[in-house]
Amino acid sequence: MSQESYDGGDLRNTGMRLKHDREWDYELDRIVDAVAKRDAETVGLQFPEGLKRRGPKVVDDLRERLGGDVTVMLSGQPCYGACDLDTYLMKRTDVFVHFGHSPMKESEKIIYVPLFSNVEVTPIIEEALGTLEGPEGSPDVGLVTTAQHMNRYGEMREFLEERGYEVHSRRGDERLTHEGQVLGCNYASADLPVDQVLYVGGGKFHPLGLAMEHPEKRVVIADPVNNVVTVADTEKFMKQRYGAVHRAMDAETWGVIFCTKIGQGRWEEAQSILADNDDAYLITMDEVTPDRLRNFDVDAYVNTGCPRITTDDGPRFHRPMLTPGEYRIATGEKPLDSLSFDTFHGTW
Ligand code: SF4
């Protein structure tokens, strides 16, 4: 994800990347227990990008507890979500630990360690009360957060209810573990009968996606990590999306990207594009980066993998990069006003 394209829309800028140091609970006892139970000889650890720097210290702590007979390995693969499990390392280790994301799919083999934030949330919600409508006259508010702050969801709800708000929440689809949780690609937990949603969490990455997915709702951001309250504004994002669609309208040849990361494959979507277009070519890859696509001589791309690569990193690619919905607009199958955010449902 490019820092220059959108400061707020960067997958690395989701509150896991901190301005101040923070103590996380790596749940080492749970890992040590699993090693003993499975008589494990190998342990694989996978950290998200923002926490990779903590990896060696966690290995040191584990080695001290496990002794010399257990080999502990760190995944060097990029990691931005639970959709992105290092399956190579997982297959080759007896215990595999994925840090920093909630499960997209439970498995006996994987230990998910959520790394909940210990940042206080109520002071920033207090400040957000000045930006939220109501409670007089408009007491309804949707409440969403990320996996990092899920441990304080009850506290957030109580704080708002005590001040007269009617808090609406729901669990989204099976891609989401918790009630009120959002992902960069899934905002089903905000499908609520409200005009305003309070997002509590670090960075603008999630609330911008939320506001694109629900343009009819006002999204107030209470960011306890950077200590700011703002209202999500998608104008810049949307202009870029329309620009990319317009640039792709003259395209004759298309690269259709099928992402091989375990939780990002949309095979049917890719197939349906190929079925209708003889000038579309299926390209399979795990990490979708500008460098890897530079040598393909096609006029435009449609990405069926992570939608945030398309919306947040799109400008970095040498050719227009569209979501499947945008592709259908560019090729004339759908009208321009059908442009909407590309959400990603289900697991694998
Ligand atoms: S597919 Fe969804 S969960 Fe995976 S990196 Fe993209 S936004 Fe995050």
pLDDT tens for residues 30-89? 999 999 999 999 999 999 998 999 999 999 999 999 988 999 999 999 999 999 999 999
Which amino acids bring their CB within 6 angstroms of ligand 1?
A: 80-81, 83-84, 183-185, 264, 306, 308, 344
Q: Ligand 1: which atom is nearest the Cα of residue 82?
A: 3
pLDDT of residue 2: 37
Q: What span, in angstroms and rounded, lies between the C-alpha atoms of 191 and 155?
A: 22
Lowest mean pLDDT among 8-12, 109-113, 130-134: 8-12
Please give the average per-residue pLDDT across 83-97, as a whole number: 96
* 258 Cα–ligand 1 center, Å: 14
Instruction: Name the residue among 152, 118, 147 with its Cα closest to residue 23.
Output: 118
Domain count, the chain: 3
Ligand 1 pocket test, pick from 84, 175, 176 with the greatest ligand atom count within 8 Å of Cβ, gives 84
Ligand 1 pocket test, pick from 185, 208, 309, 342 with the greatest ligand atom count within 8 Å of Cβ, gives 185
Q: What span, in angstroms and rounded, lies between the C-alpha atoms of 304 and 322?
A: 9
Please give the average per-residue pLDDT across 86-110, as a whole number: 94
CATH code, domain with 263: 3.40.50.11860
pLDDT of residue 18: 45
pLDDT of residue 346: 86
**Pairing of β 218-223 and β 228-231:** antiparallel
Please give the average per-residue pLDDT across 143-153, as a whole number: 96
Tokens 């190929």 sit on residue: 274
CATH code, domain with 204: 3.40.50.11850
Task: Judge if 201 and 127 occupy the same domain.
Answer: yes
* Residue nearest atom 1 in ligand 1 by C-alpha distance: 306
Task: Judge if 128 and 215 occupy the same domain.
Answer: yes
pLDDT tens for residues 215-244? 999 999 999 999 999 999 999 999 999 999
Structural domain for 63, as ranges: 28-113
* Under 8 Å between Cβ of 313 and 332: no
* 185 Cα–ligand 1 center, Å: 5
* Residue nearest atom 7 in ligand 1 by C-alpha distance: 184
pLDDT tens for residues 24-40? 899 999 999 999 999 99
Q: What span, in angstroms and rounded, lies between the C-alpha atoms of 49 and 28?
A: 20
* 83 Cα–ligand 1 center, Å: 6
Cα–Cα distances (Å) from 7 to 2, 121, 140, 185, 317, in that order, read 8, 22, 30, 18, 17
Instruction: Name the residue among 142, 115, 136, 117 with its Cα closest to residue 58.
Output: 115
- pLDDT of 282 > 90? The answer is yes
Instruction: Name the residue among 118, 114, 93 with its Cα closest to residue 47.
Output: 114
- pLDDT of 95 > 60? The answer is yes
* 277 Cα–ligand 1 center, Å: 27
Task: Judge if 217 and 307 occupy the same domain.
Answer: no
Q: What is the SS3 assignment for 255? A: strand
Task: Judge if 211 and 299 occupy the same domain.
Answer: no
In a domain, 295, yes or no: yes
In a domain, 348, yes or no: no
Percent of the chain whose pLDDT exceeds 90 = 89
pLDDT tens for residues 158-216? 999 999 999 999 999 999 999 999 999 999 999 999 999 999 999 999 999 999 999 99
In a domain, 41, yes or no: yes
Q: What is the DSSP letter of 261?
A: S
Cis preceding-peptide flag for 135 (omega within 30 of 0): yes
What are the residues facing 139 on neighbouring strands?
none
Task: Judge if 190 and 248 occupy the same domain.
Answer: no
